[in-house]
Structure 1
């Protein structure tokens, strides 16, 4: 509503209908105004003074000039009506709800040691983990995700970011030759994770560790690192990829034994960091694991409602003052009958 206060559009039905009336009971008093004036006319009719006028003068009483005497009472009625409309406080209320997401900080820890080249997952553990991790990233919204790779050493490949295309490019480039140091340093990977996430301002911090669970090197014990992660509010989900280690039989070959996974370390890490342990013996199971984590770590949303209220009572108050001035001006001219006051 950008029109000026003196625009007649303020009295249009669509405009009046669009208002929210804060005190609508004042509007119910509007019909009483002409009723009160009519009662005043009835009670004061006998006390009015009349001026005898010749026939010719009386005959001219019907012309349009004599009808101007009604300007003053009509202006009074309109002024009182505008006052009541103003007291009813017409408003236009605009409500808007904004939805804000409270993203989660997620760090993916990917084992790229030689054992991740075993082919018990198609085409091998590392490629399968990369593919499912990519699908997991695609399913997240508003989360900051980082990437850490480890073998005999651990490196932060990508810091926490919402640039998922950048993450995809890093994932595509990952291979087992990126870290020359042999072994699997899970404790070192967790330490790098804590270092990256301890300054995070997010209320939800998650680390997803993908490995065969065989911690063979590193200066930091994985359980100690897991407790440190818990102290900084980082929850750890561990995923064991490959066949679970079992008691060897005569039928097992050396390759089969090397491909088996030691899940005990990953179980203890998850328990120490208030997380959860998962096992993925094949590619489809690995996909289901990430789907479960996706459900466990849902993005939190909060709705903030804004309510903007614009008052327009001043417009009708200005009109009331205008009509009142017209009434006062008419009372002082020939428009009013001074003998009836």
Structure 2
């Protein structure tokens, strides 16, 4: 919590003054009680519970003054605020290993289906953009609320060689910067860091490790400087499985010399390993969360839980009115109780 007028907190010094005046008044009352009749002695012998109850009004009064003082200082709190105008960039891995068949019929097909359902679920909400990456990254669809064009773009994905996770994050940042003036593009000065997160997030769906291009740690720092969170999803198992591509997903270009080294053995089995530590660091650096999905159902669950996370951002809200209202209620309660307990009987 921060204060717009912190010097107003000096008014809190009134409270010790009130205690001093009350102590002085009680001291004078005790001296006078010695000279009164036995009725006064009876009142001083009342049960401890009654004496304790009579301390409630002063305590409420002091608490009310404290709240009014804090309210006068114009406190501001960082609170979660839903943002339907957020921008989401979905970065999909289309490297050759996405044709692995540990997910039926293969990872790429399952990822396309889950991505389509995710996009449909955001209809009428945040803008969604698509980035695909293999050996390089490219913007497939700029952030838009046109659900049909986004889903249609998923139909024509071809796998490629390599995995450029870091470049995918930077490409996503630039796509966000095109529609969100609060986010600086890569290569530009992001300005002084501000509290909270931007109304934008990047979801990276990958089944492997960065093999070329920008280091994911560098890309993560760039995203963090712009307050853009990254939510990586590690997809697929880590066991060697056959790789089977549909004709529409695999054109064969550049793969002839790849079999047997680096990514696949001569039997066409995927032996790559998911780099979970790197993905977890990416999430931690940017303020996002990492999700693991070994099958299509887990992938759909992971994507389904994300919107409630990154469409809620933190903004500064002036809470002075709440403190003022609370202080007024406490003071009113103190005066009411005092008048009630001291009414003529």
What TM-score do the two structures reach when normalised by structure 1? 0.52
Considering only CA atoms, is the larger Rg found in Structure 1 or Structure 2?
Answer: 1
Shift in Å, 1:257: 6.1
- Cα distance in 1 for partners of 2:304, 2:135 equals 29
Contact 1:239–1:279 (CA<8 Å) still a contact in 2? yes
Contact 2:129–2:144 (CA<8 Å) still a contact in 1? yes
Shift in Å, 1:245: 7.3
Partner of 1:191: 170
Q: How does 1:82-97 map to 2 (within 5 A)?
A: none
Does residue 162 in structure 1 map to residue 145 in structure 2?
Answer: yes
Contact 1:213–1:266 (CA<8 Å) still a contact in 2? no
Contact 2:91–2:133 (CA<8 Å) still a contact in 1? yes
Cα RMSD over matched residues? 2.4
Among 266, 271, 276, which residue is 2:289 paired with? 276
Partner of 2:233: 239
- Cα distance in 2 for partners of 1:123, 1:167 equals 22
Contact 2:209–2:273 (CA<8 Å) still a contact in 1? no
Contact 1:118–1:259 (CA<8 Å) still a contact in 2? no
1:198 alignment partner, SS class: helix
Partner of 1:286: 299
- Please give the per-residue CA displacement for 1:294-313, whole angstroms capped at 9, x wherever unaligned: 3323479xxxxxxxxxxxxx
Q: Which runs of 5+ in 2 are unaligned?
A: 1-81, 183-197, 241-263, 314-345
2:290 alignment partner, SS class: strand
Q: How does 1:10-159 map to 2 (within 5 A)?
A: 102-140=84-122, 141-159=124-142
Distance 1:101 1:260, change over 3 A: closer
Distance 1:164 1:122, change over 3 A: same
- Cα distance in 2 for partners of 1:185, 1:298 equals 26
Shift in Å, 1:194: 1.4
Shift in Å, 1:201: 4.1
- Cα distance in 1 for partners of 2:166, 2:311 equals 27
Distance 1:230 1:192, change over 3 A: same
Q: Which runs of 5+ in 1 are unaligned?
A: 1-99, 247-252, 301-341
Among 308, 323, 331, which residue is 1:295 paired with? 308
- Cα distance in 2 for partners of 1:128, 1:149 equals 15
Contact 2:100–2:107 (CA<8 Å) still a contact in 1? yes
Partner of 1:174: 157
Range moving further from structure 2, 228-237 or 192-201? 192-201
Shift in Å, 1:131: 0.5
- Cα distance in 1 for partners of 2:150, 2:134 equals 20
- Please give the per-residue CA displacement for 1:208-258, whole angstroms capped at 9, x wherever unaligned: 00001311111x111110110111121100000011479xxxxxx966661
Shift in Å, 1:262: 2.4
Partner of 1:76: none
- Please give the per-residue CA displacement for 1:54-93, whole angstroms capped at 9, x wherever unaligned: xxxxxxxxxxxxxxxxxxxxxxxxxxxxxxxxxxxxxxxx
Contact 2:101–2:107 (CA<8 Å) still a contact in 1? yes
- Cα distance in 1 for partners of 2:271, 2:158 equals 20
